[in-house]
Protein backbone atom coordinates (compact mmCIF):
# COMPACT_ATOMS: atom_id res chain seq x y z
CA UNK A 1 0.00 0.00 0.00
CA UNK A 2 1.36 3.40 -0.98
CA UNK A 3 1.71 6.02 1.75
CA UNK A 4 1.75 9.37 -0.04
CA UNK A 5 -0.38 12.15 1.38
CA UNK A 6 -2.72 12.97 -1.50
CA UNK A 7 -3.19 16.50 -2.73
CA UNK A 8 -6.87 17.19 -2.26
CA UNK A 9 -7.10 20.90 -3.00
CA UNK A 10 -7.99 20.38 -6.67
CA UNK A 11 -10.75 22.86 -7.62
CA UNK A 12 -12.88 20.17 -9.31
CA UNK A 13 -12.58 17.51 -6.62
CA UNK A 14 -16.04 18.04 -5.15
CA UNK A 15 -17.59 17.81 -8.62
CA UNK A 16 -16.01 14.43 -9.47
CA UNK A 17 -17.82 11.81 -7.35
CA UNK A 18 -15.38 9.00 -8.19
CA UNK A 19 -12.18 10.95 -7.54
CA UNK A 20 -11.44 9.69 -4.02
CA UNK A 21 -12.37 6.13 -5.03
CA UNK A 22 -9.84 6.30 -7.87
CA UNK A 23 -7.17 7.52 -5.45
CA UNK A 24 -7.98 4.66 -3.08
CA UNK A 25 -7.63 2.16 -5.93
CA UNK A 26 -4.20 3.58 -6.79
CA UNK A 27 -3.22 3.49 -3.13
CA UNK A 28 -3.89 -0.25 -2.82
CA UNK A 29 -2.51 -1.18 -6.25
CA UNK A 30 -5.72 -1.72 -8.24
CA UNK A 31 -5.77 -0.95 -11.97
CA UNK A 32 -8.41 1.69 -12.83
CA UNK A 33 -10.55 1.88 -15.97
CA UNK A 34 -12.36 5.12 -16.88
CA UNK A 35 -15.11 4.67 -19.47
CA UNK A 36 -17.05 7.46 -21.14
CA UNK A 37 -17.94 9.06 -24.45
CA UNK A 38 -15.40 11.26 -26.19
CA UNK A 39 -14.76 14.61 -24.58
CA UNK A 40 -15.94 13.86 -21.04
CA UNK A 41 -12.46 14.44 -19.57
CA UNK A 42 -11.27 10.87 -18.91
CA UNK A 43 -7.62 11.52 -19.71
CA UNK A 44 -7.63 14.82 -17.85
CA UNK A 45 -9.14 13.07 -14.84
CA UNK A 46 -6.42 10.41 -15.01
CA UNK A 47 -3.72 13.08 -15.06
CA UNK A 48 -5.28 14.93 -12.13
CA UNK A 49 -5.50 11.68 -10.18
CA UNK A 50 -1.80 11.01 -10.80
CA UNK A 51 -0.80 14.42 -9.44
CA UNK A 52 -3.11 14.09 -6.44
CA UNK A 53 -1.96 10.54 -5.71
CA UNK A 54 1.67 11.62 -5.40
CA UNK A 55 0.79 14.67 -3.30
CA UNK A 56 1.73 17.10 -6.03
CA UNK A 57 0.16 20.14 -7.61
CA UNK A 58 -0.54 20.32 -11.32
CA UNK A 59 1.97 22.20 -13.46
CA UNK A 60 4.56 22.23 -10.66
CA UNK A 61 7.30 22.24 -13.33
CA UNK A 62 8.67 18.89 -12.18
CA UNK A 63 8.84 15.66 -14.17
CA UNK A 64 5.37 14.37 -15.03
CA UNK A 65 4.03 11.79 -12.55
CA UNK A 66 2.53 9.74 -15.39
CA UNK A 67 3.44 8.22 -18.74
CA UNK A 68 0.79 8.06 -21.46
CA UNK A 69 0.47 5.38 -24.11
CA UNK A 70 -1.97 6.76 -26.70
CA UNK A 71 -3.62 3.74 -28.28
CA UNK A 72 -4.68 3.32 -31.89
CA UNK A 73 -4.45 0.75 -34.66
CA UNK A 74 -0.75 1.54 -35.09
CA UNK A 75 0.26 1.10 -31.45
CA UNK A 76 2.91 -1.60 -31.42
CA UNK A 77 4.70 -3.80 -28.88
CA UNK A 78 7.57 -1.30 -29.06
CA UNK A 79 5.29 1.42 -27.65
CA UNK A 80 4.40 -0.85 -24.73
CA UNK A 81 7.47 -2.95 -23.89
CA UNK A 82 10.17 -1.42 -26.10
CA UNK A 83 12.15 -2.65 -29.08
CA UNK A 84 14.50 -1.81 -31.90
CA UNK A 85 13.70 1.11 -34.20
CA UNK A 86 15.62 2.63 -37.11
CA UNK A 87 17.29 4.98 -34.63
CA UNK A 88 18.13 2.30 -32.09
CA UNK A 89 16.45 0.76 -29.09
CA UNK A 90 13.38 2.58 -27.72
CA UNK A 91 12.02 1.80 -24.28
CA UNK A 92 8.30 1.18 -23.96
CA UNK A 93 5.92 3.31 -21.91
CA UNK A 94 4.92 0.41 -19.69
CA UNK A 95 8.55 -0.34 -18.82
CA UNK A 96 9.35 3.31 -18.05
CA UNK A 97 6.38 3.65 -15.70
CA UNK A 98 7.11 0.24 -14.14
CA UNK A 99 10.77 1.10 -13.47
CA UNK A 100 10.38 4.75 -12.48
CA UNK A 101 7.27 4.42 -10.31
CA UNK A 102 4.82 6.50 -12.34
CA UNK A 103 1.14 6.14 -13.22
CA UNK A 104 0.78 4.45 -16.58
CA UNK A 105 -2.15 6.02 -18.46
CA UNK A 106 -3.31 3.70 -21.26
CA UNK A 107 -5.39 6.18 -23.22
CA UNK A 108 -8.21 4.67 -25.33
CA UNK A 109 -7.15 1.10 -24.50
CA UNK A 110 -9.99 -0.56 -26.49
CA UNK A 111 -8.40 0.81 -29.67
CA UNK A 112 -5.47 -1.60 -29.23
CA UNK A 113 -5.21 -4.65 -31.43
CA UNK A 114 -6.17 -7.49 -29.05
CA UNK A 115 -2.88 -9.30 -29.74
CA UNK A 116 -0.88 -6.21 -28.82
CA UNK A 117 -3.10 -5.58 -25.80
CA UNK A 118 -2.22 -9.07 -24.60
CA UNK A 119 1.23 -7.75 -23.66
CA UNK A 120 -0.45 -5.93 -20.77
CA UNK A 121 -1.98 -9.04 -19.21
CA UNK A 122 0.98 -10.23 -17.15
CA UNK A 123 2.17 -6.78 -15.95
CA UNK A 124 -1.30 -5.61 -14.92
CA UNK A 125 -1.87 -8.86 -13.05
CA UNK A 126 1.18 -7.89 -10.95
CA UNK A 127 0.36 -4.21 -10.31
CA UNK A 128 -0.07 -4.76 -6.57
CA UNK A 129 2.75 -7.31 -6.16
CA UNK A 130 5.90 -6.02 -4.48
CA UNK A 131 9.10 -6.50 -6.45
CA UNK A 132 7.29 -8.04 -9.43
CA UNK A 133 9.44 -8.67 -12.50
CA UNK A 134 8.53 -8.15 -16.15
CA UNK A 135 10.75 -8.12 -19.25
CA UNK A 136 11.38 -5.26 -21.66
CA UNK A 137 11.95 -5.37 -25.41
CA UNK A 138 15.52 -6.60 -24.88
CA UNK A 139 14.23 -9.44 -22.70
CA UNK A 140 15.88 -7.79 -19.70
CA UNK A 141 14.21 -8.20 -16.29
CA UNK A 142 12.76 -5.01 -14.82
CA UNK A 143 11.65 -4.83 -11.19
CA UNK A 144 8.45 -2.96 -10.38
CA UNK A 145 8.84 0.30 -8.49
CA UNK A 146 6.53 0.41 -5.44
CA UNK A 147 4.81 3.52 -6.82
CA UNK A 148 3.73 2.05 -10.16
CA UNK A 149 0.02 2.38 -10.93
CA UNK A 150 -2.23 2.11 -13.96
CA UNK A 151 -5.26 4.00 -15.27
CA UNK A 152 -6.80 3.02 -18.60
CA UNK A 153 -9.45 4.96 -20.49
CA UNK A 154 -11.88 4.08 -23.26
CA UNK A 155 -15.13 5.04 -24.95
CA UNK A 156 -16.32 1.49 -24.29
CA UNK A 157 -15.29 -1.20 -21.81
CA UNK A 158 -13.97 -3.38 -24.62
CA UNK A 159 -16.51 -6.20 -24.37
CA UNK A 160 -18.17 -5.48 -27.71
CA UNK A 161 -17.83 -3.45 -30.89
CA UNK A 162 -19.41 0.03 -30.78
CA UNK A 163 -21.43 1.42 -33.68
CA UNK A 164 -20.38 4.95 -32.71
CA UNK A 165 -16.72 4.34 -31.84
CA UNK A 166 -15.78 2.06 -34.71
CA UNK A 167 -12.05 2.27 -34.01
CA UNK A 168 -12.46 0.09 -30.93
CA UNK A 169 -11.72 -3.61 -30.77
CA UNK A 170 -13.26 -6.31 -28.63
CA UNK A 171 -10.68 -7.08 -25.98
CA UNK A 172 -9.84 -10.40 -24.34
CA UNK A 173 -11.71 -11.04 -21.10
CA UNK A 174 -8.45 -11.78 -19.31
CA UNK A 175 -7.26 -8.20 -19.91
CA UNK A 176 -10.57 -6.66 -18.83
CA UNK A 177 -10.44 -8.77 -15.68
CA UNK A 178 -7.33 -6.81 -14.62
CA UNK A 179 -9.66 -3.83 -14.00
CA UNK A 180 -12.44 -5.77 -12.28
CA UNK A 181 -14.01 -3.84 -9.43
CA UNK A 182 -12.22 -0.61 -10.33
CA UNK A 183 -14.09 0.58 -13.43
CA UNK A 184 -15.92 3.92 -13.48
CA UNK A 185 -18.42 5.52 -15.82
CA UNK A 186 -17.36 9.09 -16.62
CA UNK A 187 -20.40 10.78 -18.09
CA UNK A 188 -21.85 14.25 -18.36
CA UNK A 189 -21.05 16.06 -15.13
CA UNK A 190 -23.14 19.21 -14.96
CA UNK A 191 -21.70 20.25 -11.59
CA UNK A 192 -18.16 20.08 -12.99
CA UNK A 193 -19.20 21.87 -16.18
CA UNK A 194 -20.78 24.69 -14.19
CA UNK A 195 -17.66 25.01 -12.05
CA UNK A 196 -15.43 25.45 -15.12
CA UNK A 197 -17.48 27.25 -17.78
CA UNK A 198 -18.79 30.83 -17.73
CA UNK A 199 -22.42 30.87 -16.51
CA UNK A 200 -24.22 32.13 -19.63
CA UNK A 201 -22.13 29.94 -21.91
CA UNK A 202 -22.62 26.76 -19.89
CA UNK A 203 -26.40 27.37 -19.78
CA UNK A 204 -26.50 27.60 -23.57
CA UNK A 205 -24.32 24.50 -24.04
CA UNK A 206 -26.31 22.34 -21.64
CA UNK A 207 -29.51 23.51 -23.35
CA UNK A 208 -28.09 22.42 -26.72
CA UNK A 209 -27.08 19.03 -25.33
CA UNK A 210 -30.47 18.40 -23.75
CA UNK A 211 -32.15 19.25 -27.06
CA UNK A 212 -29.87 16.81 -28.90
CA UNK A 213 -30.73 14.09 -26.39
CA UNK A 214 -34.43 14.80 -26.89
CA UNK A 215 -34.02 14.66 -30.67
CA UNK A 216 -32.22 11.31 -30.43
CA UNK A 217 -34.70 9.94 -27.91
CA UNK A 218 -32.04 9.44 -25.24
CA UNK A 219 -31.60 10.48 -21.63
CA UNK A 220 -28.72 12.13 -19.78
CA UNK A 221 -27.11 8.76 -19.10
CA UNK A 222 -26.77 7.89 -22.78
CA UNK A 223 -23.51 6.08 -23.48
CA UNK A 224 -23.47 6.90 -27.17
CA UNK A 225 -24.72 9.89 -29.15
CA UNK A 226 -24.54 10.68 -32.82
CA UNK A 227 -23.61 14.26 -31.96
CA UNK A 228 -22.26 15.35 -28.60
CA UNK A 229 -21.91 18.46 -26.48
CA UNK A 230 -19.12 17.59 -24.08
CA UNK A 231 -16.99 19.41 -21.57
CA UNK A 232 -14.20 19.47 -24.16
CA UNK A 233 -16.48 21.23 -26.63
CA UNK A 234 -17.51 23.73 -23.96
CA UNK A 235 -13.87 24.45 -23.09
CA UNK A 236 -13.07 24.98 -26.77
CA UNK A 237 -15.98 27.43 -27.01
CA UNK A 238 -14.86 29.16 -23.83
CA UNK A 239 -11.32 29.85 -25.06
CA UNK A 240 -12.69 31.73 -28.06
CA UNK A 241 -15.43 33.40 -25.99
CA UNK A 242 -12.91 34.70 -23.46
CA UNK A 243 -10.64 36.07 -26.18
CA UNK A 244 -13.58 37.75 -27.93
CA UNK A 245 -14.89 39.30 -24.72
CA UNK A 246 -11.47 40.59 -23.68
CA UNK A 247 -11.24 42.29 -27.04
CA UNK A 248 -14.78 43.66 -26.74
CA UNK A 249 -14.58 44.89 -23.15
CA UNK A 250 -10.97 46.01 -22.86
CA UNK A 251 -10.61 44.25 -19.51
CA UNK A 252 -6.94 43.79 -18.60
CA UNK A 253 -5.51 40.36 -17.93
CA UNK A 254 -3.72 39.44 -14.66
CA UNK A 255 -0.50 40.91 -16.11
CA UNK A 256 -2.23 44.26 -16.57
CA UNK A 257 -2.38 44.02 -20.35
CA UNK A 258 -5.39 44.53 -22.58
CA UNK A 259 -6.02 42.30 -25.60
CA UNK A 260 -5.79 44.32 -28.79
CA UNK A 261 -8.96 44.26 -30.94
CA UNK A 262 -8.58 42.83 -34.45
CA UNK A 263 -10.78 42.86 -37.51
CA UNK A 264 -12.54 39.61 -38.40
CA UNK A 265 -11.15 37.72 -35.43
CA UNK A 266 -12.81 34.49 -34.38
CA UNK A 267 -15.97 34.76 -32.30
CA UNK A 268 -18.08 32.48 -30.16
CA UNK A 269 -20.69 32.59 -32.94
CA UNK A 270 -18.06 31.24 -35.35
CA UNK A 271 -17.35 28.35 -32.96
CA UNK A 272 -21.00 27.46 -32.50
CA UNK A 273 -21.69 27.71 -36.23
CA UNK A 274 -18.76 25.37 -36.85
CA UNK A 275 -20.13 22.91 -34.29
CA UNK A 276 -23.49 22.74 -36.07
CA UNK A 277 -21.79 22.45 -39.46
CA UNK A 278 -20.87 18.82 -38.68
CA UNK A 279 -24.48 17.93 -37.85
CA UNK A 280 -27.14 16.78 -40.32
CA UNK A 281 -28.86 19.96 -41.59
CA UNK A 282 -32.36 18.88 -40.47
CA UNK A 283 -31.12 17.98 -37.03
CA UNK A 284 -29.08 21.16 -36.75
CA UNK A 285 -32.11 23.26 -37.66
CA UNK A 286 -34.24 21.49 -35.04
CA UNK A 287 -31.65 21.83 -32.28
CA UNK A 288 -30.97 25.48 -33.04
CA UNK A 289 -34.66 26.35 -32.96
CA UNK A 290 -35.58 24.32 -29.87
CA UNK A 291 -32.59 25.51 -27.83
CA UNK A 292 -32.94 29.17 -28.89
CA UNK A 293 -29.38 29.34 -30.22
CA UNK A 294 -30.05 32.45 -32.33
CA UNK A 295 -31.46 34.29 -29.32
CA UNK A 296 -28.34 33.46 -27.31
CA UNK A 297 -26.04 34.57 -30.12
CA UNK A 298 -27.93 37.85 -30.37
CA UNK A 299 -27.59 38.48 -26.61
CA UNK A 300 -24.16 37.27 -25.54
CA UNK A 301 -22.44 40.51 -26.59
CA UNK A 302 -25.10 42.70 -25.02
CA UNK A 303 -24.49 45.00 -22.05
CA UNK A 304 -25.86 42.61 -19.43
CA UNK A 305 -23.84 39.59 -20.53
CA UNK A 306 -20.69 41.65 -21.05
CA UNK A 307 -20.93 42.88 -17.47
CA UNK A 308 -21.48 39.33 -16.26
CA UNK A 309 -18.37 38.25 -18.16
CA UNK A 310 -16.28 41.06 -16.66
CA UNK A 311 -17.27 40.12 -13.12
CA UNK A 312 -16.66 36.42 -13.68
CA UNK A 313 -13.33 36.98 -15.42
CA UNK A 314 -12.09 39.17 -12.59
CA UNK A 315 -13.29 36.67 -10.00
CA UNK A 316 -11.51 33.79 -11.73
CA UNK A 317 -8.28 35.72 -12.03
CA UNK A 318 -8.27 37.33 -8.59
CA UNK A 319 -8.82 40.82 -9.97
CA UNK A 320 -11.83 41.79 -7.86
CA UNK A 321 -11.26 44.67 -5.49
CA UNK A 322 -12.80 44.63 -2.03
Contact 245, 287 (CB under 8 A): no
Residue scoring higher pLDDT (304 or 191): 304
Same structural domain, 215 and 140: no
Q: Is residue 321 part of a domain?
A: no
Q: Is the pLDDT of residue 234 over 60?
A: yes
Same domain? For 174 and 130 the reply is: yes
Residue 5 lies in a domain: no
Same domain, 164 and 86: yes
Q: Which residue has the higher pLDDT, 13 or 310?
A: 310
| Among candidate residues 298, 230, 231, 310, the one with its CA nearest the CA of residue 267 | 298
Angle formed by the axes of helices 303-316 and 231-249, nearest 10°:
110
d(CA 6, CA 8): 6
**Do 40 and 126 belong to one domain?**
yes
- Rg of the chain taking only CA atoms, in angstroms: 22
Q: Which residues of 47-67 are buried (b: 16+ CB within 10 A; e: fewer)?
A: bbbbbbbbebeeeeeeeebbb
- Sequence-separated (6 or more) residues with CB below 8 Å from residue 229: 205, 206, 208, 209, 212
Same domain, 98 and 38: yes
Provide the domain count of the chain.
2
Q: What is the pTM of this model?
A: 0.78
Average pLDDT, integer, range 64-75: 94
The residue ranking higher by pLDDT, 162 or 26, is 26
197 & 173 share domain: no
Indicate if 162 and 223 belong to the same structural domain: no
- pLDDT greater than 90 at residue 284: yes
Of 153, 185, 217, the one marking the end of a domain is 185
Q: What is the mean pLDDT of the chain?
A: 88
Q: What percent of the chain has pLDDT over 70?
A: 89
Pair (175, 246) in one structural domain: no
Give domain status of residue 3, yes or no.
Answer: no
d(CA 178, CA 183): 10
- Do 99 and 28 lie in a common domain? yes
Q: Does some domain include residue 270?
A: yes
- Residue 64 shares a structural domain with residue 126: yes
In the predicted structure, residue 160 carries a pLDDT above the cut 60: no
Statement to judge: residues 92 and 72 lie in one domain: yes
Banded model confidence at residue 15, pLDDT cuts 50, 70, 90:
low
Say yes or no: 34 and 157 in one domain. Answer: yes
pLDDT tens figures, 28-46:
999 999 998 877 888 988 9
Q: Choose the final residue of a domain: 185, 200, 225.
A: 185
Residue 233 lies in a domain: yes
**Domain coverage including residue 114:** 13-185
Mean pLDDT over 294-303 rounds to 95
**Three-class SS state of 148:** coil
Mean pLDDT computed over 260-284: 94
Out of 185, 216, 237, a domain closes at: 185
Amino acid sequence: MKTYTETLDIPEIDQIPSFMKILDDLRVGNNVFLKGIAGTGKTTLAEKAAYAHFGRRENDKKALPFIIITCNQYTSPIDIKGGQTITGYKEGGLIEAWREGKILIIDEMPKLDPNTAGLLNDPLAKSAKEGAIIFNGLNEPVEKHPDFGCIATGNVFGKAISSTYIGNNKQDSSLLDRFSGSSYEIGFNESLERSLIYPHLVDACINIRNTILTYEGKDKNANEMEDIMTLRTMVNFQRVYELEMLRQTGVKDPMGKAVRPVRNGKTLKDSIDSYFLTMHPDKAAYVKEESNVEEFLNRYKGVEMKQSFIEEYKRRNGLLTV
